[in-house]
């Protein structure tokens, strides 16, 4: 009995789901105290040799505790601490990972563990995809964005000086372990940025989840575990379901995950990357995409208002920066979704129902006029 009480693994809120991809299927474990859950780690992290890749911000917070648990699970652990930041998601960092693995004589059976946000996850995943033509890897996401988005779905990679995420591979992890306790140290701004992607899942697929978010956004902002676990679970389920149907973005379905992103990317690029966090730009971008959907006569205006309200309540910006209409359009034309220069928007036909479409220019200009400062 005493063991039960002291053991965080017995937390009834903890949950898991499966990303169903045939022989590449994997579990997502979500809950509090998972980094200390020796049994769960023994079960989900395969192999006896583990190389943890993390960064200078996350290492002092969680590296020791994860290493100790993995040791207790009978595993040999080495770790590499990279510098922090999006600007480090590059070829030099990737080479540092390879140097480290070579120097430590790692082999095909070494499991890479990504401990950190999306930057560490994307980079470690790509290193795992290419080292010895592929070694197992496990995602241990420590930002909300990574727990609901980047750790799920198998997109891995690094930036090229001329473009974000331009070098990479589809490579699925063996498991995702999302410990919501790690979110307690996350800066507010980063938590809020992650909420943009959570709101997105409700808007594009699940009106019921959207409604739940309207009622529970305060709890998420207060980092209440039960609410976080539920929101992360539902987000992962939705993403996993889309990825299952369109793993390599070939049928167009996966593109609906870019709701808010066409406008959002224009904001990020137009202001210079790093001015607004990605999630902030996506939050504002969703408000703009909802406005455009209403103009197309597809989305009832009341739903558009609800999206704006929820984005605002989450603490995300709802007014876009003035870049000039011409510049806006130019920036949106370079979006990866586009075919032959025509801008493809993810719009809503209803709350919970997204489509990919082109729009007449006068409608787009009207949206820009309405939503820009
Ligand atoms: P990030 O990895 O840079 O993390 C944000 C900041 O929080 C960093 O400074 C980080 O060190 C710090 N941090 C991480 N965990 C922390 C914790 N628990 N406590 C305190 N600080 C912590 O950024 P992100 O938002 O997690 O991820 C963004 C990256 O993810 C981008 O490079 C983006 O391209 C990528 N991404 C990939 C996918 C995909 O499908 N692969 C999807 C979305 C985004
Ligand atoms: Mg995104």
Q: What is the pLDDT of residue 11?
A: 58
Q: What is the pLDDT of residues 117-163, one digit of tens each?
A: 999 999 999 999 999 999 999 999 999 999 999 999 999 999 999 88
Element (H, E) at 44: helix 38-44
- pTM comes to 0.95
Q: What is the pLDDT of residues 106-119, one digit of tens each?
A: 999 999 999 999 99
- Measure the CA–CA gap between 324 and 128, rounded to whole angstroms: 42
Query: Which ligand number lies closest to the CA of residue 55?
Result: 1
Q: Residue 4: pLDDT above 50?
A: no
Which positions are catalytic? Answer: 133, 155, 197, 239, 249, 254, 258, 261, 265, 278
Percent over 70 (pLDDT), the chain: 96
Ligand 2 centroid distance, CA of 47 (Å): 32
Judging by DSSP bridges, how do beta strands 353-357 and 175-179 pair with one another?
unpaired
Q: Any idea what the Cα angle at residue 74 is, between residues 72 and 78, rounded to 5°?
A: 90
Query: Which ligand number lies closest to the CA of residue 193?
Result: 1
Pick from 145, 152, 258 the residue to mutate for probing ligand 1's pocket: most ligand atoms within 8 Å of its CB.
145
Confidence tier at 334 by pLDDT (50, 70, 90): confident
Closest-CA residue, ligand 1 atom 36, reads 150
Query: Which ligand number lies closest to the CA of residue 54?
Result: 1
Q: Residue 3: pLDDT above 70?
A: no
Ligand 2 centroid distance, CA of 283 (Å): 10
Whether the predicted interface score ipTM is above 0.90? yes
Report helix angle 361-371 to 325-333, nearest 10: 120
- 348-364 average pLDDT score: 95
Ligand 1 site, CB within 6 A:
55, 57-58, 61, 84, 86, 89, 116-120, 122, 142-143, 145-146, 149-150, 153, 155, 165, 182, 185-186, 190
Confidence tier at 27 by pLDDT (50, 70, 90): very high
Say how many C-beta atoms besides its own lie within 10 A of residue 179's C-beta.
25
Q: What is the pLDDT of residue 6?
A: 44
- 276-298 average pLDDT score: 97
Q: Return the SS3 of 228.
A: helix
* Contact criterion met (CB below 8 Å) for 312 and 192: no
Percent over 90 (pLDDT), the chain: 91
Judging by DSSP bridges, how do beta strands 353-357 and 345-350 pair with one another?
antiparallel
């Amino acid at each position: 009995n005493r063991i039960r009480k002291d053991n965080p693994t017995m937390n009834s809120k903890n949950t898991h789901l499966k990303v169903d991809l045939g022989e590449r299927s994997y579990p997502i474990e979500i809950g509090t105290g998972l980094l200390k859950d020796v049994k769960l780690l023994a079960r989900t992290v395969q192999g006896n040799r583990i190389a943890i890749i993390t960064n200078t911000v996350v290492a002092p917070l969680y590296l020791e505790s994860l290493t100790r648990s993995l040791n207790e699970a009978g595993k040999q652990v080495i770790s590499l601490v990279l510098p922090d930041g999006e600007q480090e998601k590059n070829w030099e960092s990737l080479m540092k990972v390879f140097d480290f693995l070579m120097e430590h004589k790692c082999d095909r059976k070494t499991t890479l563990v990504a401990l950190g946000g999306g930057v560490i996850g994307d980079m470690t995943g790509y290193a795992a995809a290419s080292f010895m033509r592929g070694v197992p890897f496990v995602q241990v996401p420590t930002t909300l964005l990574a727990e609901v988005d980047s750790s799920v779905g198998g997109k891995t990679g690094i930036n090229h000086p001329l473009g974000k995420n331009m070098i990479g591979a589809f490579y699925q992890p063996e498991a995702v372990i999302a410990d919501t306790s790690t979110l307690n140290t996350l800066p507010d701004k980063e938590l809020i940025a992650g909420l943009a992607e959570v709101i997105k899942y409700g808007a594009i697929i699940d009106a019921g989840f959207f409604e739940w978010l309207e009622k529970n956004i305060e709890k998420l902002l207060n980092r209440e575990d039960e609410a976080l676990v539920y929101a992360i679970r539902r987000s992962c389920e939705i993403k996993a379901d889309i990825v299952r149907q369109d793993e390599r973005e070939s049928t167009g379905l996966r593109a609906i995950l870019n709701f808010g992103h066409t406008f959002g990317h224009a904001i990020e690029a137009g202001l210079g990357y790093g001015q607004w966090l990605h999630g902030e730009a996506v939050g504002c971008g969703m408000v703009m995409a909802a406005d455009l959907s209403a103009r197309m006569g597809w989305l009832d205006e009341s739903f558009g208002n609800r999206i704006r309200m929820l984005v605002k309540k989450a603490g995300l910006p709802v007014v876009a920066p003035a870049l000039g209409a011409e510049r806006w359009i130019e920036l949106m034309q370079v979006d990866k979704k586009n075919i032959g220069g025509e801008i493809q928007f993810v719009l809503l036909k209803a709350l919970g129902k997204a489509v990919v479409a082109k729009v007449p220019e006068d409608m787009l200009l009207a949206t820009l006029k309405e939503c820009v400062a």
